[in-house]
Amino acid sequence: MANPFLVVFAAPHRLPFLTGTLGLTAIAAWWVVHLAELSPQTGDLPARLLHAPAMLLIIYPAFIFGFLLTVFPRWMNQTALSMRQCGIVSSELALGTSAFAFGLWTDWLAPLQTGLVIFSAAWAFALFLLGATIRHSAKAGKRPCWHAVSALAALIIGLLALVLVMRFNSTMDPLPLRLANILALNGFVLPVFLTVAHRMVPFFAGSAVKGYKLWRPGWLLAALWALLLARGLGEALMVPGLSGSASAGLAALTSLMIWKWWPRSATPGLLKVLLWGFIWAPIGFVLSVLATLGLPIGLAPTHALALGFGMSLLVAMVTRVTHGHSGRPLEMVPTAWLAFITVQLATALRIAAALKGETQSLLAITALVLIAGMIAWLARNALIYIRPRLDGREG
């Protein structure tokens, strides 16, 4: 029997995906306990304020790094990153996430802050590795891979957001946290998922749908970035007109992307969930426009984007990579379908809670539904990451 400790280092995605899987389970369970007030807060940790950074800057990055460490060299036709290099990043991501989650559960700032420091070190080293692949491609005289450049830019902004969270934890000044959340969503999570979708959705569809017409214009990526930065700037400076106009533009562009990408013939499940989950993007941006017009919809726009859009695409992409790199068929298994459906239900419940003034009981129900519906998918994936490929190949 293969040693699970060695197996998780057999491919760049394995340990980061396992870290994200266990981290999501631990942090989502902590959030349920906190919202249900099952465990009284005894320390000085601002638990409610750390929910957004935990999801945007700890959970999502673990999966994102697992994916990008795998695909970056492939995007530029280079050899895979060495497992020694990826192992350093993966190990630090795992240690940082563990310490952070321990701090949340114990209501203890010291391990939480230590976890953030370790996690940021992993992040910085990953930036060096990914940046090196881009530099190597440039030195070889190849055309720029704008998807790689876009993803790297988002990762740099994400690291800045993480530093701002650490600043908040040190000073308890709310301004760094507010800026961190704005940067994390508009400059990191949304650009990464939109960049990956821009590259991968047409590729998936072109290989899976007969007669599919590929649409992936370069100007679209630049336009998305310009609007996301304008949206973030408007939110940071509290200029509703700027953020609302940018959100309207993003709603139009993401709607166009869905229209252009939507297959007109039979479509496999993995592609369906990518496209269905993508629908939350224009919904979220439309809600953002309504919020800037003064409608009392609370955090509905944020959760349509961060939970509905982000988590839906995460389920789809993680399922595809997990299956494709373990010798399994590229298909949506029952646990993956359950996880995806759960995300849709949880997003609808979370938006309902926002519309009802952030009702505590509904927030707790939403968190419980999310973890209960995703746990089978998470557990199945975790077992895959500690086992060799079914086809006997390396990786």
Q: How is domain 4-385 classified at the architecture level of CATH?
A: Up-down Bundle (1.20)
Which distant-in-sequence residues (6+ apart) come within 8 Å of 338 by Cβ? 373, 374, 376, 377
CA dist 89 and 123 (Å) reads 7
CA dist 119 and 59 (Å) reads 11
C-alpha distance from residue 96 to each of 45, 54, 114 (Å): 17, 12, 7
Q: Can you give the three-state secondary structure of the chain, one letter per residue?
A: CCCHHHHCCCCCCHHHHHHHHHHHHHHHHHHHHHHCCCCCCCCCCCHHHHHHHHHHHHHHHHHHHHHHHHHHHHHCCCCCCCHHHHHHHHHHHHHHHHHHHHHHHHCCHHHHHHHHHHHHHHHHHHHHHHHHHHHHHHHCCCCCCHHHHHHHHHHHHHHHHHHHHHHHHHHCCHHHHHHHHHHHHHHHHHHHHHHHHHHHHHHHHHHHCCCCCCCCCHHHHHHHHHHHHHHHHHHHHCCHHHHHHHHHHHHHHHHHHHHHHCCCCCCCHHHHHHHHHHCHHHHHHHHHHHHHCCCCCCCHHHHHHHHHHHHHHHHHHHHHHHHHCCCCCCCCCHHHHHHHHHHHHHHHHHHHHHHCCCCHHHHHHHHHHHHHHHHHHHHHHHHHHCCCCCCCCCC
The number of residues making up the chain comes to: 395
Q: Name the residue ranges covered by the structural domains of the chain.
A: 4-385
Q: Are 304 and 190 in contact (CB under 8 A)?
A: no
Each of the 395 residues of the chain gets a pLDDT tens digit; together they read 567 768 999 999 999 999 999 999 999 999 999 898 776 666 667 888 999 999 999 999 999 999 999 999 999 989 888 888 899 999 999 999 999 999 999 999 999 999 999 999 999 999 999 999 999 999 888 899 999 999 999 999 999 999 999 999 999 999 999 999 999 999 999 999 999 999 999 988 888 888 888 899 999 999 999 999 999 999 999 999 999 999 999 999 999 999 999 988 888 999 999 999 999 999 999 999 999 999 999 999 999 999 999 999 999 999 999 999 999 999 999 999 999 999 999 999 999 999 999 888 899 999 999 999 999 999 999 999 999 999 888 87
Which distant-in-sequence residues (6+ apart) come within 8 Å of 93 by Cβ? 15, 16, 19, 61, 62, 65, 119, 122
